Amino acid sequence: MARNERYIPVSPGSVFEVLADARQYGYVVAGSKEIRDSDPRWPRKGAKFHHTVGYGPLNVKDTTHVVDVDPPQMLRVIASAMPLGKAEVTFELEEENGGTRVTLVEDPVVPKVVYPLTPPVHVFTRLRNRETLRRLAEVAEASPAERERIARQEGSAD
């Protein structure tokens, strides 16, 4: 399990607004390149978006779908990047000192026999998710116009 936390000086509702806009994931999630399409029901349970992830010339096209949601406190998704794997990713948002304590937990979805081999992956995932939380804070603290610019220019393929 990879676990990261960050304090963001805006309300849980403001942070959840970013998570509720599938277009933002192309920028917010480190390693994501674009959001190709999204279900208009996002982030309802079962909704999904289609993304491209990768570094340099290596690109993988797959989907992320919602498995549980409790706005504005929690969003749990399964992010797929096959054949590289799948992960259950949970964003927990807790009000703290006029802002939000965001906890990001990511667990690979692998057969139990493979699980002992995953600790090195957790180290890389924690580093990546530290950047993801930095970007989430950047967008959550931005004006609505700046959020829209990020979604259009940085996050989506359209």
Model confidence at 111, in pLDDT bands (50, 70, 90)?
A: low
**Residue 152 pLDDT exceeds 50:** yes
* Residue 57, helix vs strand vs coil: coil
Domains of the chain: 2-155 (3.30.530.20)
| CA angle (62 as vertex; 124, 4 as ends), nearest 5 | 30
Binned at pLDDT 50, 70 and 90, residue 96 comes out as very high
Tell which phi-psi region holds residue 46, choosing left (phi > 0), alpha (psi between -120 and 50) or beta. Answer: left
pLDDT at 144 over 50: yes
Residue 154 is classified by DSSP as I
**pTM score, two decimals?**
0.90
The confidence score (pLDDT) of residue 94 equals 98
Strand order from edge to edge, sheet including 48-55: 2-8, 99-108, 85-96, 74-81, 58-70, 48-55, 32-38
Residue-wise pLDDT tens digits, 28-77: 999 888 899 999 999 999 999 999 988 778 888 999 999 999 999 999 99
| Residues forming a β-bridge with 49 | 38, 64
Q: What is the overall mean pLDDT for the chain? A: 89
